[in-house]
Amino acid sequence: MDTQNQVVDRLRATFRSGVTLPVEFRISQLKQLMAMLKDNEEQIVDALHQDLAKPKFEAILAEIDILTNELHYAITNIGSWVQLEYAAKNLATKLDDCFIRREPLGVVLIIAPWNYPLQLLILPMVGAIAAGNCVVIKPSEVSQATDSLVAELIPKYLSKDCYAVVRGGAEETKALLEIRFDHIFYTGCQAVARSVVQAASVYLTPVTLELGGKCPCLIYNQENVAAAAHRLVWSKFFNAGQSCVAPDYVVCSTATRDALLPVIRQVLEKFYGTEPQKSPDLSRIVSPRHWTRLMGLLGKTSGKVVIGGESNQEDKYIAPTVVVDVAEDDALMNEEIFGPILPILTEESVEKGIELVNRKEKPLALYVFSDDSSVVKTVMGKTSSGGFCANDGIIHMALPSLPFGGVGASGWGSYHGRWGFETFSHRRACMLRGWAMERLNGLRYPPYTEEKLTWLRWTTSPKTSCSMM
Ligand code: NAD
C-alpha cells in the first residue's frame, strides 16, 4: 500500500500533467460520482444504518439526494462558472483584456466528520472536482462502515491518479496534515480545527473550516405552536440531534414555553411512538464515547427534564429529551449538545432573547419562529450567524444556491453550489496588454513632470473608467 506521501506525490504529478483542466474531464468525474451513488444506494443506506442506525428515509434525503442534487447543479452550471469574468476598465487600460480566470488550486485535502459521513465528505469534493483539483479525502474513522464503503467505491468510480481516499483517525490525520497541500477543507469540532490551522500555517496553506457551535432557535409571537413544534422537533431530532445545524437550544417567553411543551410531547409521540427506542425512525448516538458525553451533560444539568431522559448504553440510545428551567451557565449551555437533548430557556421579550444569543459565539445557524415578520426582521438585523432560517430548521442548507458555512467561531469560508467551486478555485487577475497607445503609456516614465502626473491621474481616475470589455 502506498504511504500518504506517495499518494499525494502521485496526485501532484497528475495535477501537473493538466489532466484535470478540461471541463469535460471534470464533468465525466462528477457523472461517475452520480453513478456511484445510484449503483450503490442500498449499500450506502446499509452502511449509514450500521454507523448511526440512520433511517433509510434520512439517509436518502440528507446524504444521497442532497449529493445527487449538488452533482446535478454542478454539472449543469460548471460551463458558466469557468467562463472568464471580464473586469471594468479605465482609460489607461481601455484596449487591454482584463479578466478574472478561475484556476484550480492543485492537490487539496478534505477531512470529514461522522454525523453525515457521506454527505460531508463528498459534497466538498464536488466543488473541488468541478474546480479542477486533485483531491485527497479523509473520512471519519468513527463512522466505520461508511468509511470502508467509501474507500472501496471511490477508486472503482473515479480516476485513481486524481482522487484518493486516505483512512485513519487522529494520528493518521495529523501525519497527513504535515504534508503540503494547496488547500485544506476541514469539517468537525473547534478543538481539532485549531490544530488543523496550526499545521496549515507551516506552508501557509489556505483553510476552510466548517465547524459547529450552539444554534439558537428564538420563538416569539408565534400563535401556531403546533406548526412550530412539528418543525422544531423534526429539525432537532433528525439524525438524533447529531447535526451541526440542529437547533441546539430554544429561547422563548414562559407563556410560549408552556404552550409549546404539551404540543412537543404530542408531536414526539406522533413521530416516534410511545416507545421511541422501538421506532425505526430515530437514529442512535454514534459511539459509546459520544453517548457517555451526552449522558454526562444530562447528569450535570440543573434544569428539569420534562420530556424523555430515558437511555440505554448498550443500544447507544437516548430518548428525545426536553429540559426546562435551564440557566444560561448550565452544563447544557456551555458546549454544543450534538445529540437529542433540547434545553428551553425563557426570556420574556425578543430583545432579551437576542441579548442572550449575542452573549455567545456566532453560531453556524440561527432560527426564529414567528407569525410576525417584524420579529423575524429584528432577529435577523440584530444577530449574526453562518446561516439564517425563519420558521424552519436545518433545511436552508439543502439549497445549492445558498452558501453554507459559519462565521467567527462557527467557521471560515463556505461551500455548496457555486460557493464550493469558488472555495477550491483561485481567482487569477489577468491583464493582457497590447503595444498600442504608447504615448499614453509613456506618461508614467521618468523624467516625471507635473503635467504628466495630471494626465496620468486623469486616465486612471474612476471618472474615466468604462465598462468596455
Ligand atoms: P472531529 O473534529 O472529532 O473529527 C473530524 C475529523 O477530524 C475526523 O476525520 C477525524 O478523524 C479527524 N480528527 C479527529 N481528531 C483529530 C486530531 N487530533 N487531529 C487531526 N484530525 C483529527 O469532529 P467530529 O466529532 O467528527 O464532528 C463533530 C463536530 O463537527 C461538531 O462540532 C459539529 O458541529 C461539527 N460539524 C460541523 C459541520 C459543518 O458543516 N459546519 C458539519 C458536521 C459537523
Residues 418 and 288 occupy one common structural domain: no
**CB-based contacts of 279: which residues, under 8 Å, 6+ apart?**
271, 272, 273
Q: How far is the CA of 305 from the centre of ligand 1 (A)?
A: 29
Say whether pLDDT at 163 is over 90. yes
pLDDT, tens digit, for every residue of 164-189? 999 999 999 999 999 999 999 999 99
Residues 281 and 322 occupy one common structural domain: yes
Q: How far is the CA of 469 from the centre of ligand 1 (A)?
A: 45
State yes or no: is 244 an active-site residue.
Answer: yes
What is the CB < 6 Å shell around ligand 1? 111-115, 120, 138, 140-142, 169-170, 173-174, 187-189, 192, 195, 210-212, 244, 336, 338, 364, 406, 411
Q: Whose CA is nearest to atom 32 of ligand 1?
A: 189
Q: Whose CA is nearest to atom 43 of ligand 1?
A: 244
Please give the mean pLDDT across all residues of the chain. 96
Q: How far is the CA of 189 from the centre of ligand 1 (A)?
A: 5
In this prediction, residue 469 carries a pLDDT of 38
Is residue 443 assigned to a domain? no
Q: Which of 215, 244, 252, 389 is catalytic?
A: 244
Q: What is the pTM of this model?
A: 0.96
Q: Whose CA is nearest to atom 23 of ligand 1?
A: 188
CATH code, domain with 162: 3.40.605.10
**What are the DSSP calls for 43-64, one per residue?**
HHHHHHHHHH---HHHHIIIII
Q: Whose CA is nearest to atom 12 of ligand 1?
A: 170
Q: How far is the CA of 152 from the centre of ligand 1 (A)?
A: 22
Is residue 409 assigned to a domain? no
pLDDT, tens digit, for every residue of 376-395? 999 999 999 999 999 999 99
Residues 394 and 381 occupy one common structural domain: yes
* Total tally of structural domains belonging to the chain: 2
Residue 89 sits at the vertex; the CA angle it makes with 84 and 93, to the nearest 5 degrees, is 105
Is residue 85 assigned to a domain? yes
In this prediction, residue 468 carries a pLDDT of 40
CATH code, domain with 266: 3.40.309.10
Q: Which is the closest atom of ligand 1 to the Cα of 397?
A: 40
467 pLDDT band, cuts 50/70/90, is very low
Q: Are strands 317-318 and 311-312 parallel, antiparallel or unpaired?
A: antiparallel
In this prediction, residue 462 carries a pLDDT of 76
Residues 392 and 419 occupy one common structural domain: no
Is residue 63 assigned to a domain? yes
Is residue 461 assigned to a domain? no
In this prediction, residue 465 carries a pLDDT of 57
User: Quick check: 236 and 247 in contact, CB under 8 A?
Assistant: yes
Residues 288 and 382 occupy one common structural domain: yes
Is residue 231 assigned to a domain? yes
Q: Whose CA is nearest to atom 1 of ligand 1?
A: 188
Distances (CA, A) of 325 to 237, 261, 342: 20, 13, 12
Residues 279 and 310 occupy one common structural domain: yes
Residues 363 and 316 occupy one common structural domain: yes
DSSP state for residue 415 in the 8-state scheme = B
Please tell me whether residue 239 adopts helix, strand or coil conformation: helix
Residues 122 and 170 occupy one common structural domain: yes
Residues 202 and 312 occupy one common structural domain: no
- Greatest extent of the chain over all pairs of C-alpha atoms, in Å: 89
In this prediction, residue 64 carries a pLDDT of 98
In this prediction, residue 439 carries a pLDDT of 83
Q: How far is the CA of 113 from the centre of ligand 1 (A)?
A: 4
Ligand 1 probe mutation, 120, 123, 189, most atoms within 8 A of CB: 189
Show the domain range for 353.
216-398
Q: Which of 210, 336, 347, 422 is catalytic?
A: 210
DSSP state for residue 142 in the 8-state scheme = S
Q: Whose CA is nearest to atom 35 of ligand 1?
A: 188
Q: How far is the CA of 187 from the centre of ligand 1 (A)?
A: 6
Is residue 405 assigned to a domain? no
**CB-based contacts of 415: which residues, under 8 Å, 6+ apart?**
123, 124, 127, 185, 208, 210, 403, 404, 405, 423
Residues 207 and 228 occupy one common structural domain: no
**CB-based contacts of 160: which residues, under 8 Å, 6+ apart?**
none
Ligand 1 probe mutation, 187, 238, 415, most atoms within 8 A of CB: 187
Cis peptide before 447 (omega within 30 of 0): yes
- Enclosing H/E stretch for 172: helix 170-177
Say whether pLDDT at 365 is over 50. yes
Residues 198 and 278 occupy one common structural domain: no
User: Quick check: 291 and 318 in contact, CB under 8 A?
Assistant: yes
Nearest to 238 by CA among 184, 289, 281, 297: 281
Q: How far is the CA of 142 from the centre of ligand 1 (A)?
A: 10
Q: Whose CA is nearest to atom 9 of ligand 1?
A: 140
90 grid coordinates? 479605465
In this prediction, residue 223 carries a pLDDT of 84
Is residue 367 assigned to a domain? yes
**CB-based contacts of 217: which residues, under 8 Å, 6+ apart?**
232, 247, 249, 250, 251, 367, 368, 369, 393
Residues 170 and 226 occupy one common structural domain: no
